Structure 1
Amino acid sequence: MKLDLEHSLASMKAQLAAYCEKKQIEDAIVVGIHTGGVWVAERLMSAVPTTEPLATLDITFYRDDFTKAGLNPKVNQTSLPAIEDRHVILVDDVLMSGRTIRAAMNEIFDFGRPASITLAILYDLGQHELPISADIVGEHLSLNPDQRVKLSGPKTLSVSVIDTH
C-alpha cells in the first residue's frame, strides 16, 4: 500500500484552517504528541491562527500499559504553556485504539482545563477501543491486523506500511 503523505498533510491543513474559521478559534495552542505527532504538528502550524509556538506532550507516564513487563520507553519533554480556557489542537500521527489520545488528554487536564480540545490525526486506522474520534483526519486507512503505519523523520518525513509478523 502506497500512502501519499503530502496529500494527507495538505488535506489536514485545509480542514484545520476551515475548522478554526468555522469555530472562530483564534490563538490556539497546537500540541504535538511525541514523536510523530510533533513532526506532523510542525507541518500544520502555518494553517492555524496562533501566535503561540508549538507545544509538545510526552504521554509516557500516562499510558495504561506503562507497568507492563519489558516496556522501556524513551522519555521526551512536555512543554505546554498555560492552557486554562484556551483552545488546544492536539496532533498525533496515527489513531488506532484511542489509548494514546486518552493518555494525552489526561496529561493536558493535569495542566488545566482548556476551553476545547480539537483532535487532528494524520492517519485514522478505525480500530478504536475507546470512544475517541478525530475532528481533523488526513486519511482514513483500512489495514490488515498485522500491519502498522510507520512515520519516519523529522527532517524529511516519510511514511510506510509495515508488517508486524
Structure 2
Amino acid sequence: MLNALTFPGTQKQQMSEKQVVGIFSRSPQRDYYWLQDLLKSGALQSYVQEVKYGYILECDWRPFRRVVSECTFGVLYHSKRNGRAFITDVPGSLYDSHLNHLSARLGKKNVLVVIDDMEDPSAEEKARILEKQPSLRKLTGGVLLFGRDKTYTLNHRKENNN
C-alpha cells in the first residue's frame, strides 16, 4: 500500500535528479520516523537523495530557513494527535507563514503537506479540509492524509497544478 505513494510531479520525465527532502514540523522527530523510512525505501528511493529535518520553532525562524535552503523538496508534517488539523487559513492555524515560505522558496510543486493520525483519512475528509483551507491548494503540490494505521489518501488534482 505505501509503496504506491508518489510525490506530486515525480514522473521520471519531470525529475531528472534526486531530491533533498526536508520534513518540517512542530512534532518530535520520532512521530515521523515512518515517513523517513518510506522516503528512503521502495519506489521513492529512486527520487530521494537525502532526508533532512527542520523542527519549527515559533520564536526562532533561523533553523527552519537554514534547512529549507538546503532542500529541493519540502514536506510539512502535522499530526492531528494534538486534536486539530488546522494547517492554514483558520484562526489559530499553525503553519501559515511556514507554508508560504516553503512554497516561495521551493515552488508549489515541490511542497507536500502530510496530515497524520487522522480518524478519517477519506477523500471526503480531505475535500472538507481543502475547502476550509484553500491555501493548501494554492501553495502545495498535494496533501496526504494518513490514518493512525498509516492508511493514506492522495490529493493530486489538476487544480493543484496551477
TM-score grouping bracket, smaller chain normalisation? 0.3 to 0.5
What is the TM-score of this pair, normalised by structure 2?
A: 0.48
TM-score (structure 1 length as normaliser): 0.47
Structure with the largest fraction of helix: 2
